[in-house]
C-alpha cells in the first residue's frame, strides 16, 4: 500500500492518494476521505445491496474489534480473511480496537493488557493475543494495540502511563507484524497517545515518527461515543496542531470518532486525511436527518439537522432536502418519515441512514473539491452558518443517545 501527497507542508489541508493495495491493486482513493462505519463488518441498517445503491464508488470500511470479537473463531475455522468472511471482499478494510460510535468505558487499563469491550462484556488482550486475531482477520490496514484511555480530564500521570504502555504495546505488535508471513499484504499504523498533555504526546510522536509506517492514528482525545459530537474544535486544536507539526508530513493521518462537520473541517485544515462515518450513524440513531449541506435559497432547512419526530413534519409532504439525490429524498416525504418514527417502524432507520450516509459522502466530495479550488474557507463559513441557526437542536444541547449509550453494562447491537 502507498500514500502519496504533493503537499509536504505540515498542518495544512492537502489532497493525497491511497493506492497499491495488495489485495485489490487497482483501487485508488483520494483523501481527505471517510471510512464507512460498520458493526460486525456490515453497514448499520443497510444490506449490502442497499449500500451499493447509496454509493457505487469504491469505499474503505472501518471494522472494530469490539463488534467483531465473537466472529474470531468462525473466521479462523474457515481459513479466509475477514473481508471474504463477511462477503465484503470488494472493499478495503481498516481494523480498529474500539467502536467509535459507542462510549468506551474508562479506567480498566492494566499493565500488559488492553480491554476490548464486546457484546459479552470486557475481554483483556495482550499484544500477542491481539496480533493472533490480526493474523486471523488479515485486514488491509490496522492500528497497533495502544492505550487510548485519555480525554480532556486525564491527569498527567494517566497520560504519561498511556504513552509508556502504548510504546511497549506497539513494539510487541510491530515485531510480530514484521515477522508475520500472513500479514505481508497488511499495513500497520501507530497510534499517537498522550491525551491533551503536550510533553507526553511529544514522547509518543518522537518514538513513532521514524518507524517504518504508512501513517498514524491521532488518538487519546476522547473515549468515543456520541459525546464526541459536542467536542469543539478549539478544545483539540492546540494538541492536534502540535502533533501534526512534529509528524512526517508525507505520512497518512487518521482521526476516528463522531466529530461534527465543523470539527472535521478544522481537522482537515490541520492535515488530517481520514475520518469515519460514525457521525451520520449517531444522527440516525437519534432519528435525525442531516441538512447542513442545504444552502440553496428554496430549501427550508435552516439548521444542520432536523428531527423527524417533531409534529411540524406530520403534514410536510416535501423531501428532507429538495436538492438531495439520495433514494430517501427522491422517493419519500418528511411526513412519511415522521409516521415511521412515531410508529417505531424499522424502516425509519433504513431511510434515515441512506440519507445521512449519502449526505456525509457528498460532504467529503465537497471538501476535496474545496481544497483543489482553494475555497475551503468558504465551505467552512457555509457549514458554520448552518450550525448557528436558531430554532433547531444545537450540537451543544443534550441529544437522545439512549440507543447507543450504556448504564451498568456495555452492550453491542
Distance CA 13, CA 131 (A): 34
* CA geometry: angle 198, 199, 202, nearest 5 deg: 85
Task: Please tell me whether residue 61 adopts helix, strand or coil conformation.
Answer: strand
> Is 324 annotated among the ligand-binding residues?
yes
Three cell numbers, residue 108:
480498566
> Is 379 annotated among the ligand-binding residues?
no
Distance CA 310, CA 295 (A): 22
> Is 355 annotated among the ligand-binding residues?
yes
Angle between helices 261-269 and 347-373 (to 10 degrees): 30
Task: Please tell me whether residue 18 adopts helix, strand or coil conformation.
Answer: strand
Distance CA 333, CA 23 (A): 42
Distance CA 77, CA 209 (A): 37
Distance CA 148, CA 106 (A): 10
Q: In this structure, how many other beta carbons lie within 10 angstroms of the beta carbon of residue 387?
A: 17
Query: Is there a contact between 236 and 221 (Cβ–Cβ < 8 Å)?
Result: yes
Q: State residue 73 phi and psi, 5-degree precision.
A: -65, -40
DSSP for 240-291?
A: HHHHHHHS-TTSEEE--S---HHHHHHHHHTT--EEETHHHHHHHHTTEEE-
Q: Which long-range contacts (CB under 8 A, 24 or more apart) does 343-350 make?
A: 348/287, 348/308, 349/44, 349/45, 349/284, 349/285, 350/45, 350/46, 350/50
The annotated binding site for Zn(2+) is made up of 324, 326, 329, 355
The annotated binding site is made up of 324, 326, 329, 355
Amino acid at each position: 500500500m502507498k500514500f502519496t501527497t504533493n503537499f509536504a507542508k505540515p498542518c495544512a489541508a492537502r489532497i493525497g492518494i491511497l493506492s497499491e493495495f495488495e489485495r485489490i491493486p487497482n483501487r485508488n482513493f483520494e483523501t481527505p476521505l471517510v471510512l464507512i462505519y460498520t458493526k460486525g463488518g456490515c453497514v448499520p441498517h443497510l444490506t449490502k445491496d442497499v449500500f451499493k445503491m447509496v454509493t457505487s464508488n469504491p469505499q474503505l470500511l472501518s471494522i472494530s474489534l469490539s463488534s467483531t470479537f465473537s466472529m474470531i473463531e468462525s473466521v479462523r475455522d474457515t481459513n479466509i480473511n475477514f473481508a471474504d468472511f463477511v462477503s465484503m471482499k470488494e472493499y478495503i478494510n481498516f481494523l480498529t480496537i474500539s467502536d467509535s460510535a459507542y462510549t468506551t468505558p474508562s479506567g480498566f487499563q492494566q499493565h500488559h493488557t488492553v480491554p476490548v469491550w464486546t457484546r459479552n462484556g470486557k475481554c483483556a488482550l495482550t499484544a500477542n493475543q491481539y496480533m493472533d486475531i490480526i493474523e486471523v482477520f488479515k485486514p488491509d490496514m490496522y492500528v497497533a494495540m495502544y492505550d487510548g484511555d485519555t480525554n480532556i480530564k486525564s491527569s498527567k500521570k494517566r497520560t504519561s502511563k498511556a504513552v509508556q504502555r502504548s510504546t511497549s504495546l506497539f513494539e510487541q505488535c510491530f515485531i510480530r507484524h514484521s515477522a508475520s508471513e500472513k500479514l505481508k499484504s497488511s499495513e500497520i499504523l501507530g497510534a499517537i497517545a498522550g491525551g491533551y498533555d503536550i510533553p507526553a504526546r511529544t514522547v509518543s510522536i518522537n518514538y513513532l515518527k521514524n518507524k517504518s509506517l504508512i501513517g498514524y492514528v491521532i488518538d487519546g482525545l476522547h473515549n468515543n461515543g456520541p459525546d464526541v459530537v459536542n467536542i469543539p474544535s478549539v478544545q483539540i486544536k492546540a494538541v492536534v496542531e502540535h502533533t501534526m507539526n512534529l509528524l512526517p508530513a508525507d505520512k497518512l493521518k487518521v482521526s476516528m470518532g463522531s466529530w461534527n462537520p465543523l470539527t472535521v473541517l478544522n481537522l482537515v485544515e490541520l492535515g488530517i486525511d481520514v475520518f469515519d462515518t460514525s457521525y451520520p450513524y449517531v444522527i440516525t440513531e437519534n432519528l435525525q436527518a442531516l441538512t447542513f449541506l442545504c444552502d440553496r435559497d428554496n430549501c427550508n432547512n435552516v439548521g444542520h439537522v432536523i428531527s423527524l419526530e417533531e409534529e411540524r413534519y406530520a403534514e410536510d409532504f416535501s423531501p428532507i432536502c429538495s436538492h438531495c439525490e439520495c433514494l430517501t429524498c427522491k422517493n419519500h416525504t418528511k411526513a412519511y418519515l415522521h409516521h415511521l418514527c412515531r410508529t417505531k417502524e424499522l424502516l425509519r432507520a433504513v431511510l434515515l441512514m441512506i440519507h445521512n450516509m449519502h449526505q456525509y459522502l457528498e460532504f467529503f466530495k465537497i471538501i476535496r473539491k474545496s481544497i483543489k479550488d482553494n475555497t475551503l474557507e468558504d465551505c467552512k463559513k457555509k457549514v458554520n452558518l448552518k450550525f448557528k441557526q436558531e430554532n433547531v437542536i444545537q450540537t451543544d444541547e443534550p441529544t437522545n443517545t439512549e440507543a447507543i449509550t450504556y448504564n451498568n453494562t456495555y452492550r453491542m447491537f
